[in-house]
Structure 1
Amino acid sequence: MMTKKINFTAIVFLFFVLAACQNKQQNWTHFRGSDMDGHANVETAPLNWSDTENIVWKVPVKGLGWSSPVVYDGRIWVTSAEKEGHEFYLFCFDLETGKLLNEQTIFTAEDPQRIHGTNSYATPTPCVDEDHIYVHYGSFGTACADTKSFEVIWKRDDLPCKHMQGPASSPIIYKDKLIVHLEGTEDPYVLALDKNTGETIWKSIRPKEIYDPLEPVYRKSYQTPIVITVGDRDLLISNSAYMCFAHDVTTGEVVWSFKYGYDSTVSQPLFYNGLVFVNSGWIFLDGVPYFTRQFAIDPTGEGDVTETHQVWMYENEVPQIPTPVIVDGKMYMVHDRGMVTCLDAMTGNVIWKEKLKGNFNSSPIYAGGNIYCINVKGFCTIIKPGDSFEKVAENDISETVKAVPVFVGDKMLLRSEKNLILIQ
């Protein structure tokens, strides 16, 4: 009798484990994946396609937006905006058919701030869980909607930010919190909102004694944070303009900080094997944007750890916009102008370098054993991770692409300038 009970318990446990694995393969909840590490939880992924071959469906997306799609329970969520920034949209599509299930104008703006010519008014990627979809358009508004009924649960349009070049930081979900960054040219700050009500739980303004002496242009940032666990504490890693902050994600308290540079951090932090990896944004020499640096930091310190906890720094063709991906101890960086650098993640030593075609905004994604690198013109180079450069395939969708590719099941979902495309 005891054996049967144990076997039954084991079967139930196995069922839930398999269900969780299947759930991960079918869902994509944040910018750069459900784990926000650029890894797709899939076993296989498409290797060959074109603008006419291996396309399951292609549907137009109204407006303009460089945000990536997110997926939950067979539904795709995409944000967009009217090109001049007067209307801000949320769309829901059926994953299997591409059918538009719902379209809403979430916010409007009579006199929107200007943005950089390469940006859009809907660049932040939304995030989703079983019950709610969370959208963020920077200072133009943040909102939560029900994933089943499409009803808007709450809105916040009272979070000011002078972005200067438009919004780009994506929100993230952490337990009962929605974390949003509003880091512009005045009083940059980060907020934790109650994800169920939209009410502010904590707000952390960047230290005035450091940021006020900086020229306003050097205070802005566009990065998306991550949460890591160090000891018994969960830390929000936020690589802002000028310096990186580690916040106690529960209270907003700054646990440590690391100074590196000035302006326009975009690339998302990484966490691997006990190290945090952050991008400096532009380093300025004599007022001229000169280069970007990649830092590896030991996250166990407190206070100013600039001189004490840097493990390594690398500065040769480090990307500003694309976020690197780490696979089996190797960091793969795709520079904005196409140079791929493979580093040893623990030492920063170069393993190999290779030039790809075109310019890049989209971050590389590891899926089905390969790394997918899609340039701005929609040309994708698939490479095999390893000790030397190995090209697996090249494919061209022939459309402008700045969003990261999304992998669910055995298919790839791609958001281009005008369309949403499912590839098999």
Structure 2
Amino acid sequence: MVISGCNKLTSYNPATGDELWSIDAIAEATCGTPVTDGTMVFASGGYPDRETVGVDANGTKVWSNKTKVYEPSLVVSGEHLFAIEDGGIAWCWDAKTGKELWKERLGGSFSASPVVCQGKLFVPNLSGETVVFEAKGDAFHEVARNTLGNDSYSSIAVSGKELFLRIGVGNGADRKEQLVCIRQP
């Protein structure tokens, strides 16, 4: 179990609660959840400092950069680490080295975390537009943009060939939330 925040990245034994390791990293305030590829842990934060890190299983910081991914969580696909920062910039790094492979301005603002499904990343922005792009490190390859409702603040849930997305429809006192299921035939 790994927790980020208070200028630390800390690993605990989930069975006993004993601290396994702790390093000075990230920022005082973080929202995103640390993620792993099975060999390394990745985390990011952004207030008041900014940092994205790759840490090995022993708690050694392998790489670090000054990218701020505050609200959305990072996501790993194969050898690549992807991030969508709040202001709409998508990043792709080599997960092992932290080398930036590409970055792309998506437009819009984001609080939802990206998800990977069938080799593609899906992430909705605050205006209800879901951006779909290939989970590849060679370059940014947009597949589609789809708008559902007026807004979307939540991450997509994946179950088999179905995607579930909570959207907002309407404005002000007339706003209601709906759960949408998108199914691949």
Query: Which TM-score band applies after superposition, normalised by the shorter structure?
Result: 0.7 to 0.9
Separation (CA, whole Å) in 1 of partners of 2:115 and 2:94: 18
Given that 2:44 and 2:53 are in contact with CA atoms closer than 8 Å, whether structure 1 keeps it comes out as yes
- Counterpart amino acid of 1:298? D
Separation (CA, whole Å) in 2 of partners of 1:365 and 1:422: 15
Corresponding position of 1:422: 181
* Cα distance, 1:346 vs structure 2: 0.5
1:184-203: CA deviation from partner (whole Å, max 9, x where unpaired)? xxxxxxxxxxxxxxxxxxxx
Separation (CA, whole Å) in 2 of partners of 1:262 and 1:276: 16
Separation (CA, whole Å) in 1 of partners of 2:65 and 2:38: 18
| 1:60-139 mapped onto 2 (5 Å cutoff) | none
* Cα distance, 1:336 vs structure 2: 0.4
Say whether 1:246 aligns with 2:4: no
Separation (CA, whole Å) in 2 of partners of 1:348 and 1:369: 21
Say whether 1:334 aligns with 2:84: yes
Corresponding position of 1:370: 120
Separation (CA, whole Å) in 2 of partners of 1:402 and 1:369: 23
* Cα distance, 1:367 vs structure 2: 0.7
Given that 1:241 and 1:280 are in contact with CA atoms closer than 8 Å, whether structure 2 keeps it comes out as no
Higher radius of gyration, 1 or 2: 1
* Cα distance, 1:299 vs structure 2: 2.3
Corresponding position of 2:154: 403
* Cα distance, 1:249 vs structure 2: 1.3
User: Which structure is richer in relative contact order (CA contacts within 8 A, separation 6 or more)?
Assistant: 1
Corresponding position of 1:385: 135
Separation (CA, whole Å) in 1 of partners of 2:99 and 2:26: 22
- Counterpart amino acid of 1:276? V
| 1:26-65 mapped onto 2 (5 Å cutoff) | none
How many residues are treated as equivalent by the alignment? 174
* Runs of 5+ consecutive residues of structure 1 not aligned to the other structure: 1-235, 285-291, 302-308
Given that 1:325 and 1:333 are in contact with CA atoms closer than 8 Å, whether structure 2 keeps it comes out as yes
Hey, which of these two has a bigger chunk of helix by percent?
Answer: 1
Given that 2:128 and 2:149 are in contact with CA atoms closer than 8 Å, whether structure 1 keeps it comes out as yes
* Cα distance, 1:262 vs structure 2: 4.3
TM-score (norm 1): 0.39
- Counterpart amino acid of 2:154? A
Separation (CA, whole Å) in 2 of partners of 1:361 and 1:294: 17
Corresponding position of 2:106: 356
The match for 1:267 among 32, 35, 47 is: 32
Say whether 1:312 aligns with 2:63: yes
The match for 2:57 among 299, 305, 322 is: 299
Paired-residue identity, %: 25
1:33-80: CA deviation from partner (whole Å, max 9, x where unpaired)? xxxxxxxxxxxxxxxxxxxxxxxxxxxxxxxxxxxxxxxxxxxxxxxx
* Cα distance, 1:273 vs structure 2: 4.5
1:313-354: CA deviation from partner (whole Å, max 9, x where unpaired)? 0113x3101111111201111110000111000001111111
* Cα distance, 1:412 vs structure 2: 1.6
Separation (CA, whole Å) in 2 of partners of 1:352 and 1:364: 16
Corresponding position of 1:118: none
- Across the aligned residues of Structure 1 and Structure 2, the Cα RMSD in angstroms comes to 1.6
Separation (CA, whole Å) in 1 of partners of 2:109 and 2:149: 14
* Cα distance, 1:261 vs structure 2: 5.2
Separation (CA, whole Å) in 2 of partners of 1:411 and 1:262: 35
TM-score (norm 2): 0.87
Given that 1:323 and 1:333 are in contact with CA atoms closer than 8 Å, whether structure 2 keeps it comes out as yes
Separation (CA, whole Å) in 1 of partners of 2:51 and 2:30: 10
Given that 1:324 and 1:334 are in contact with CA atoms closer than 8 Å, whether structure 2 keeps it comes out as yes
